[in-house]
Amino acid sequence: MTSPVKLYIYDLSNGLAKQLSAQLTGRQIDGIWHTSIVVFGKEIFYGQGIAQSQPGKSHHGTPLQIVDLGETSIDQDTWEEYLEEMREHYTADKYHLLDFNCNSFTNDCAGFLTGGAIPSFVKDLPTDFLSTPFGAALRPTIDAMYRRPSPGAPAAAPPPPVASALLQAVASQAQASSTTPPAPLAATESLAGPMHPCTNSASFRSLIRAHRAVVAFFTDPQGCPPCRAIAPLVQKLADEKGTRSATGRGAAFTTIDIRVGAGNTLAAEWGIRATPTFMFFLNGTKISELKGADPNELKTQVDLLLFQAYPPHPHSSLPLPTIKALSLAPILFTQVPALDTVLAKLVSFVDAVPSSSSSQAKEILRAQVVPYLKSRFASETKPLPSASPALLASWSAATNTLAGSLKPESLFPLVDMWRLAALDPAVTAWLAITPAAGPVGLFARTARDALAQPTQDKGTRNYVLTALRLLANAFGSAPLARVLLAGPGSDGAAIGTLVPALLHTDAAVRTAAASLAFNAAASVQRARVASGVGLGGVNVNQGKPDAADAAAAADEEWQVELGSALVEALQREEGEEVVHRLVAALACLLRFAPDDGQVLGLLEVLGARAVVLGKLKTASVQKKEVRKLVEEVGALCPEA
């Protein structure tokens, strides 16, 4: 006699993910999925340990979707025994929102009951989320929610307020029990996430298909002293070399206890005759095996697996001391103008085209915006006050009103106010989740259109210059930079402004544009360095791109456009300061770029090496440090 097996699917974000994901991540994510198994008239799920309730009666409410996983021939007593064994592994302190969660549990159960797996759109959600720069930026915050900080460790940067609220809501929902209110997240000394217990063949095969590199530890902790002796090292290696990074570069570590679930059957399937035994998988294929508890050999095999999965980038072996010493901090324009004078200038422009709506906008600027800017940037107040969402909403509405009634050359005082405000993290966080980056996106589009005109007067020049400085400051925020470069509704306005500005006749405009170019390219380099791409960045995944590959592909279009503009600007530029910033931007775009990517291919066609090294023969490069940088960047450029 068989029994039906159902998968209940819930959205832990209660619709927020679907509403905000495109703005936050640049990708539509329809839900933060929680799943539970329904079999033998009960709903079983993992959060604060393994819990159960009547189907549809848990604290998660009514499921959004019910998936039929098939039938099981396993009887209820065997199922209950399996759950008891699983309680030792699926404990509250091991829960991790991304690495070891309710979906890990239901996938294990599905494999035991039916030999199948849960739907891929549920299993792949963490990878999809982390493949976005926003997800990568939040990874340290998520990790910090599930571990106790080490003494002396730097605090993780706080996420934007909306993202923080969303994370806390999801985490509390995920770990709440069915009978008690949400409890504070349990702190553990280290993340348990990198260790994935497998109790049956289906979940094991699902794991090795899902990860580029897998280390499988077949163990018998009850009857095997060497297994117990080597276990701490396995956990340490999982912590250090597991798939905890934002890009998933690392190995998935799984432990198979031959006394738990169908572990013994799984061991027999793979020919395990003694414990401990380690198996190493690359792209779903077993490449080596280690029998016995040999710590040194285990470390060697893990390192060899990772080397094969992520070969070092060719640039990692080049001596590039000047490029390596480059600060990747964004170039910011922090000068505080006389705010009353700025307001008076803007008001004079507004009064020249009076309207009732403009009068209201003037009042918002006078009564709310300028006092905020003064309190944050023109006083010694500690701590620095941040802009509230209410203020930003009012200011944004006033900005839209004025942008609709004033010509671009009359808007530069307003742009300068936003330029200053973009130094406030609360402002950039708000802009990052505002459609099309709000006023910053609006100013970028206006600047792009102004630069497209055949003639430009002094007023237009002032507007474009101020808009470029605003964009440079905006790129101090990684989430906002991502929205401006490739987010929904961005319309390519930031790059569309930057490219012609690099060739502008005005030196100040070119300097601001070169600063923006560096900030954009530095954001790419920071992501590559943080992902460990220099230590292992060549894609040998045979059609299974990891998160870093997906993010790189999404970014390549604007990177190609920027690379082309940098080469053309270098050909024409004579000012040493601008040349320095242009070459530094090119260094960030080049270093650790994919060998088979479009960026290197384009630079080869454009003869970038000859252009860069040609600057050494001109009077525009005199300083020793600039000449060294030019030489190193020339060496990085592909030969034509």
Burial class of residue 275 in the structure, from the number of CB atoms within 10 Å of its CB (0-12 exposed, 13-18 middle, 19+ buried): buried
For residue 136, what are the CA distances in angstroms to 26, 165, 246, 424, 453?
A: 13, 17, 5, 22, 39
Burial class of residue 457 in the structure, from the number of CB atoms within 10 Å of its CB (0-12 exposed, 13-18 middle, 19+ buried): exposed
Which of 239, 141, 256 lies closest to 191, judged by CA? Answer: 239
Instruction: Find the helix or strand (DSSP H, E) in which 37 lies.
Output: strand 33-39
3-state secondary structure 69-99: EEEECCCHHHHHHHHHHHCCCCCHHHCECCC
For residues 325, 328, 330, 335, the Cα torsion angle rounded to the nearest 10 degrees is -20
**Residue 157's pLDDT is what?**
44
* DSSP, residue by residue, 289-346: EEES--HHHHHHHHHHHHHHHSPPPGGGGS--HHHHT---SPP-------HHHHHHHH
* Lowest pLDDT segment from 185-194, 259-268, 360-369: 185-194
For residue 467, what are the CA distances in angstroms to 415, 416, 485, 501?
A: 6, 8, 15, 11
Peptide bond into 383 cis (omega under 30): yes
Q: Scanning the structure block, which residue is given the tokens 């209940």? A: 8
* 8 A C-beta contact, residue 307 and residue 213: no
**Residue 631's pLDDT is what?**
96
Pair of tokens at residue 629: 């940088």
Which of 47, 43, 51 lies closest to 6, judged by CA? Answer: 43
421 versus 243: the higher-pLDDT residue is 421
Residues annotated catalytic, as ranges: 34, 102
Pair of tokens at residue 439: 């006023």
The string of pLDDT tens digits covering residues 418-432 is: 999 999 999 999 998
The length of the chain is: 640
CA 275 from centre of chain? 39
**Residue 358's pLDDT is what?**
84
The string of pLDDT tens digits covering residues 392-406 is: 999 999 999 999 999
Three-state SS for 452? coil
Is the backbone of residue 392 left (phi > 0), alpha (psi -120 to 50) or beta? alpha
Which of 518, 424, 396 lies closest to 480, judged by CA? Answer: 424
Task: Round to whole Å and give the CA distance between 51 and 402.
Answer: 57
* 8 A C-beta contact, residue 279 and residue 217: no
**Residue 101's pLDDT is what?**
82
Task: Round to whole Å and give the CA distance between 187 and 350.
Answer: 56
Fold of 194-309: Glutaredoxin (3.40.30)
Q: How confident is the model at residue 505 (pLDDT cuts 50, 70, 90)?
A: very high
- Please give the model's pTM, rounded to 2 decimal places: 0.70
What is the arithmetic mean of pLDDT over 167-183?
49
Task: Name 421's Cβ contacts closer than 8 Å, sequence gap at least 6.
Answer: 372, 373, 387, 427
Average pLDDT, the chain: 83
Task: Number of helices (H) and strands (E) in the chain: give both, helices first.
Answer: 28, 10
The rounded percent of the chain whose pLDDT value lies above 90 is 53
Superfamily of domain covering 1-186: PPPDE domains (3.90.1720.30)
Pair of tokens at residue 226: 């060497």
Is pLDDT above 70 for 594? Answer: yes
Q: How confident is the model at residue 171 (pLDDT cuts 50, 70, 90)?
A: low
Interstrand relation of 213-219 and 277-282 (parallel, antiparallel or unpaired)? antiparallel
For residues 224, 229, 231, 232, the Cα torsion angle rounded to the nearest 10 degrees is 160
Three-state SS for 575? coil
- How many angstroms separate the first and last alpha carbons of the chain? 71
The string of pLDDT tens digits covering residues 408-461 is: 999 999 999 999 999 999 999 999 888 889 999 999 999 999 999 887 788 899
Three-state SS for 214? strand
Task: Round to whole Å and give the CA distance between 100 and 94.
Answer: 7
Task: Round to whole Å and give the CA distance between 516 and 475.
Answer: 8
Task: Name 80's Cβ contacts closer than 8 Å, sequence gap at least 6.
Answer: none
Indicate the domain borders of the chain. 1-186, 194-309, 339-555
User: For residues 571-606, b (16+ Cβ closer than 10 Å) or e, as one string?
Assistant: bebeebbbbbbbbbbbbbbbbbbbeebebbebbeeb
